[in-house]
Amino acid sequence: MEIAADSLYKAKLIRGFCHLYDGQEAVAVGMEAAITKKDSIITAYRDHCTFLGRGGTLLEIFSELMGRQGGCSSGKGGSMHFYKKKSGFYGGHGIVGAQVPLGCGLAFAHKYNKDDAVAFALYGDDGMGTAEWRAAKSPSYYKRGDYVPGLKVDGMDAFAVKQACKFAKEHALKSGPIDSSLSLRLPDPGQSEHFTE
């Protein structure tokens, strides 16, 4: 799907921004295997596969990318703004970092409602191709300033991701927030994505 999107983008049939998820599928797949649709997920703009994992269809995705009415946001959002509220997917956000406090808000709502569900707020260290050392002061995200407990996970291994998310959900329900840093090896040198919940 993402390779096809890449071709469409190069052919200028997809406009604006198009951030691809290929190479990182283990994250979406592993996460979905560990949680339910009652749990919430919120992420930044690299949301195509997250949306698919939450029950989105290829037709909705490609229609949206190409600005058609049949798209999941009726063509009004584009690549960065996929949502599926009834499956607990809250987007799809273009402003770097915005989804983190929003994710905390989702978690707050779960706690407030006492519904035994959790929120996963995902973010990467990357921003927009900004090299890791330029993007953040401390790249050891899973240490989270020694304030929130953390896990370091191999993000390329779907089973590892599944176990990590299962553990994280149990921990969050029992004791509070937990940070997981999922390391990825991607083709571009100096780039890796870290996800946290």
Partner 1 sequence: MTVRDALNTALDEEMSADPKVFLMGEEVGEYQGAYKITKGLLDKYGPERVLDTPITEAGFTGIGVGAAYHGLKPVIEFMTFNFSMQAIDHIINSAAKSNYMSAGQMSVPIVFRGPNGAASGVGAQHSHCYAVWYASCPGLKVLAPYSSEDARGLLKAAIRDPDPVVFLENELLYGETFPVSAEVLDSSFCLPIGKAKIEKEGKDVTITAFSKMVGYALKAAEILAKDGISAEVINLRSIRPLDRNTINASVRKTNRLVTVEEGFPQHGVGAEICASVVEESFGYLDAPVERIAGADVPMPYAANLERLAVPQVEDIVRAAKRACYRSVSVAAAA
Binding site for partner 1 (CB under 8 A): 15-17, 64, 67-69, 73, 75-78, 80-81, 93-97, 127-128, 130-131, 134-137
Decide the pairing of beta strands 119-121 and 40-42: parallel
Distance of closest approach, residue 191 Cβ to partner 1, in angstroms: 14
With the C-alpha atoms ordered 45, 61, 7, 194, is the resulting torsion angle positive or negative? positive
Distance of closest approach, residue 128 Cβ to partner 1, in angstroms: 8
Residue (14 or 151) nearer to partner 1, CB: 14
From 118, 114, 97, select the one nearest 41 (Cα to Cα): 118
Distance of closest approach, residue 165 Cβ to partner 1, in angstroms: 26
Distance of closest approach, residue 8 Cβ to partner 1, in angstroms: 13
Residue (18 or 31) nearer to partner 1, CB: 18
Q: Say how many Å lie between the first and final Cα of the chain, rounded.
A: 26
Residue (29 or 100) nearer to partner 1, CB: 100
Distance of closest approach, residue 130 Cβ to partner 1, in angstroms: 6
What is 118-132 written as a DSSP string? Answer: -EEE---S-TTT--H
Residue (99 or 161) nearer to partner 1, CB: 99
With the C-alpha atoms ordered 99, 145, 180, 129, is the resulting torsion angle positive or negative? positive
Residue (16 or 145) nearer to partner 1, CB: 16
From 76, 114, 82, 117, select the one nearest 99 (Cα to Cα): 82
Tokens 């390391």 belong to which residue?
Answer: 183
